[in-house]
Structure 1
Amino acid sequence: MSVLTIAIVIAFILGYACIALESVTKVNKAAVALLMFVVCWTIYMINPGQYITGVEPDQINNAVNDIIERHLGSTSTTLFFLMGAMTIVEIVDQNGGFNFVRESMKTKSKRTLLWRIAFMTFILSAILDNMTTTIVMIMVLRKLVKEHTDRIIYASLVIIAANSGGAFSPIGDVTTIMLWNRNLISAAGVIKEVLLPSVVSMIIPALILQTQLKGELAAPDMSITNKGAEDFTSKQRKTIFFLGVGGLCFVPIFRYLTNLPPFVGILLILSVLWVTTELFYHHLQKDEKGGMNKRVTNLLTHIDLSTILFFLGILMAVSCLEEVGVLTTAGQWLNNVSHGNHYIVTGVIGVISSIVDNVPLVAGCMGMYPLQVAGDFATDGIFWQLLAYCAGVGGSMLIIGSAAGVIAMGLEKISFGWYMKHVTWIAFVGYLGGIFTYYLLKTFIY
């Protein structure tokens, strides 16, 4: 390994450590990721000739520009997809599209509510991003459950169900979006073969957690806020919901029908929803301006740009490691150590994802193992499907291991220690149960 390659690896490791220790350094991880991206490629440019072969010396700079643009193009498909999906969810939420979720959860039985919360979270997180799903469900819980000791049990299940629901859906988690964009998994394949393991990873913890809940709930707060009700009628809010959520479900079908990249489908749904809401607002009376700030042009400012920039930085930094051959070498080492056992490799990656961000982990794996025509590394191969499951579900083992956990931690003031003591082992049992279920499916059915 050359001195430059070692320098690039050191820069990446230092940046990664700062990202993992964001709560200690107080420096936004997006800033660190962007700096890491620039530093890695700057070191690469000191002597790019040692990495690029078969190119005339005077054409090296042009070759590097082509390489960076190729990686940037691949990264941009994920970024545009995320921006479009974030905007769609924001439109639906701000205009009252999720009000029905709050209404459908009402019950007196604590255990009945637990199962309703579990399955509703699981379903929503397969369509929406985990962060939005968690926020919606925590807001529902605040209206229905008065006791904080009970509510944090429900919130813990929300974390587990959100991560499990996102693992089997091509649009349910950033990592599955990345794998889908690279054609490493297909929508039909990952749903068919990872759905049942994901359900198992949610049901086992739910069965254990329900033993901690007994009796009935106090009467729920009937004054559930109808966000967006002051602007649109109930019919209009339902139209927005079905256009937004139904549109997200349609994106995989659109890709199948047209063979266009997924981000094109997401932009189609965004444009249709944008036009529809503009028409709705156009027919409001001129003095009804209370909700005009919920128009799409204003909601675009709500998009979490720092998250988008974080993905840009981390994915482009990982692409530099890929270009210098580090990821290929690491992949070969992992195969040798595990003797080619994909369950061990992806299982360990899943556990690590509960400690560090799963986005760079999955990005690294995509660089380690090239897509093959057939076998375990082909589209919908065992490795990629296990990676989608493990990277998604593994984050439930620690409350800081996923966006859903961090959101619930902040909203419900759940301590790291409480979660680790009461929930970590439960999430781990569910995680192993899902992996075992996948093994049984691949061994005896598929």
Structure 2
Amino acid sequence: MTTKIEGAEGVIHAVDLAVRPFGWLLLTIFVVGYYFIAAEEKYHINKAKPALFTGTFMFMLLGGYYAVNGLDFRAFDTEIAHLILEIAEIFFFLFVAMTFIEALIERNVFDALKEKLLKSGFNYKKLFWVTGLLAFFISPVADNLTTALILSTVLITIEKNNKAFLIPAAINIVVAANAGGAWSPFGDITTLMAWSAGKGTFIDFLFLFPSAVIGWGITAFLLSRFVPEGAPEKIEGAEPVKIHKGGKVIIGLGVFTIASAVLGKQLMHLPPMWGMLFGLSLLQLYAYTLKKYHKNDIQIYKSVSKVENDTLLFFFGILAAVGALHFAGFLNHAAKLYTLFDPMYVNMGVGFLSAIVDNVPVMSAVLKSSPDIPLAQWMLVTLTAGVGGSMISFGSAAGVGVMGKLKGIYTFSAHMKYSWTIVIGYFASVAVWYIQFEVLGLYIKPAVQAIAGH
């Protein structure tokens, strides 16, 4: 049996290793590697390390297997070239996005936001809703992990001891950040992956907004019933936090960079990372003029140095590992689920799997297997992979990040106590998707897109 790999020379057939002992060895290495990724807290090892080792080691073994057995390397070369391109696009996109976030942090933009909340005098109920709304609307631009980390820091600064408030508020931030990231290609790595793979246009993902906001809103309403009355002590006499010079301009440059990525992808057929790197060049030039003419050093290279390289290397490793499973033939067999069962139910299952495994490898596997499903189903799997990770505390990067910020408070067991509210919101999101996409057809059909393109 063979696996089909599309290359410049047409369809090239690779050996289907899923039916051979060597293929099962690869699968075993993947499972063991992923165990150490998932058990990051237990072994105190950053998940980037086992991810990078697993992904690179699996392809080293594949290359060795082809060399020892004298097999045709054309399919192998094609898979590697596709994988490098796919990873590079995501890698540079995230690199630029993280650099902008670090530059905004350096200019005190987020500290100014935090100070306003600290001095607001809001009671617990209002803080719950305000932080949730901010998470939902910031994450589409700043990504769900960064948003969750910033707002969870605000929570623990406002109130350090009241678990009755902190736990539901932390869960609300995680759910809101993941839901907000699901309807924007910039909000979640899984949405970015689907957009980069051409499974929908930028506008297509925006049609997921009703599903995302209603699902989060229902979960937030249920969680709010557990938020206690009263208010935290108002902080008085603190020095006002001002945004440093250039901070507001960088916000504008960030918006322009996002527009460049979108227009470059939709109109000029450039990968999203191209527009992002163009925006980074403008940020660097602005930093130069700010320093030369205003004697104000924005320290852009220090911002670049603070980019979380472990996060980037984790994505490299996990995408390489899933790519190895695809090349070995396993994902072709997994894609048959879409022909055996209704794609809607399979995609709903993807959401639950995302909560257990993590949505990045799950979405990568779906994209690699590339089942023949319509646009509406690609939007559904983007939605379920994005919001499904909220059901378990470690099912998403946002959840893991908040667990780190609120150690001993926001824990696995604390999250699971309220997980039923998230499950209800999850099914509500799917129900809204079904009514909008399947019953009413309120989205841009591919045929309409094709006509508009002409």
1:424 paired residue number: 419
1:335 paired residue number: 338
1:76 paired residue number: 88
> Please, which moves more after superposition, 214-223 or 304-313?
214-223
1:117 paired residue number: 131
Deviations 1:48-103 (A, max 9, x none): 3899xxxxx79x34653343123211221111111111111111121122345336
The answer on whether the counterparts of 2:257 and 2:279 sit within 8 Å (CA) in structure 1 is yes
The change in CA–CA distance for 1:280 and 1:344 in structure 2 (over 3 A counts) is: same
Look up the equivalent residue of 1:45 and give its one-letter code: G
The answer on whether the counterparts of 1:152 and 1:412 sit within 8 Å (CA) in structure 2 is no
Deviations 1:135-178 (A, max 9, x none): 22123334544653223322221111001000111111011111
TM-score of the aligned structures, taking structure 1 as reference length: 0.86
The change in CA–CA distance for 1:253 and 1:219 in structure 2 (over 3 A counts) is: farther
1:386 paired residue number: 380
The change in CA–CA distance for 1:214 and 1:38 in structure 2 (over 3 A counts) is: closer
1:36 paired residue number: 54
Write the distance in 1 (CA, Å) between the matches of 2:436 and 2:229.
Answer: 38
Write the distance in 1 (CA, Å) between the matches of 2:364 and 2:237.
Answer: 45
Write the distance in 1 (CA, Å) between the matches of 2:428 and 2:194.
Answer: 23
The 5 A counterparts of 1:234-383 are 236-245=246-255, 247-248=257-258, 250-285=260-295, 292=297, 295-332=299-336, 334-335=337-338, 339-370=340-371, 376-377=373-374, 381-383=375-377
Question: 1:249 Cα shift?
Answer: 5.1
Match of 1:436 among 425, 431, 439: 431
Secondary structure of residue in 1 paired with 2:289: helix
The change in CA–CA distance for 1:144 and 1:19 in structure 2 (over 3 A counts) is: closer
The change in CA–CA distance for 1:71 and 1:98 in structure 2 (over 3 A counts) is: same
Secondary structure of residue in 1 paired with 2:138: helix
The change in CA–CA distance for 1:367 and 1:49 in structure 2 (over 3 A counts) is: farther
Write the distance in 1 (CA, Å) between the matches of 2:74 and 2:343.
Answer: 38
> Please, which moves more after superposition, 90-99 or 259-268?
90-99
Write the distance in 1 (CA, Å) between the matches of 2:39 and 2:432.
Answer: 34
Identity across matched positions, percent: 28
Unmatched 5+ stretches in structure 2: 1-18, 442-454
Question: 1:228 Cα shift?
Answer: 6.8
Please report the RMSD computed on the Cα atoms of aligned residues, expressed in angstroms: 2.5
The answer on whether the counterparts of 1:145 and 1:217 sit within 8 Å (CA) in structure 2 is no
Deviations 1:354-378 (A, max 9, x none): 22221111111111225x5xxx34x
1:133 paired residue number: 147
Question: 1:320 Cα shift?
Answer: 1.9
Secondary structure of residue in 2 paired with 1:45: helix
Question: 1:412 Cα shift?
Answer: 2.0
The change in CA–CA distance for 1:17 and 1:99 in structure 2 (over 3 A counts) is: closer
2:99 paired residue number: 87
TM-score of the aligned structures, taking structure 2 as reference length: 0.85
Deviations 1:337-363 (A, max 9, x none): xx4322221222211212222111111
Secondary structure of residue in 2 paired with 1:212: coil
Deviations 1:286-310 (A, max 9, x none): xx7xxx5x51111211111111111
> Please, which moves more after superposition, 160-169 or 343-352?
343-352
Look up the equivalent residue of 2:415 and give its one-letter code: Y
The 5 A counterparts of 1:214-253 are 214-222=228-236, 229=243, 232-233=244-245, 236-245=246-255, 247-248=257-258, 250-253=260-263
The 5 A counterparts of 1:95-244 are 95-102=107-114, 105=117, 106-145=120-159, 148-149=162-163, 150-192=165-207, 194-222=208-236, 229=243, 232-233=244-245, 236-244=246-254
Question: 1:250 Cα shift?
Answer: 4.9
Secondary structure of residue in 1 paired with 2:235: coil
Question: 1:312 Cα shift?
Answer: 1.1
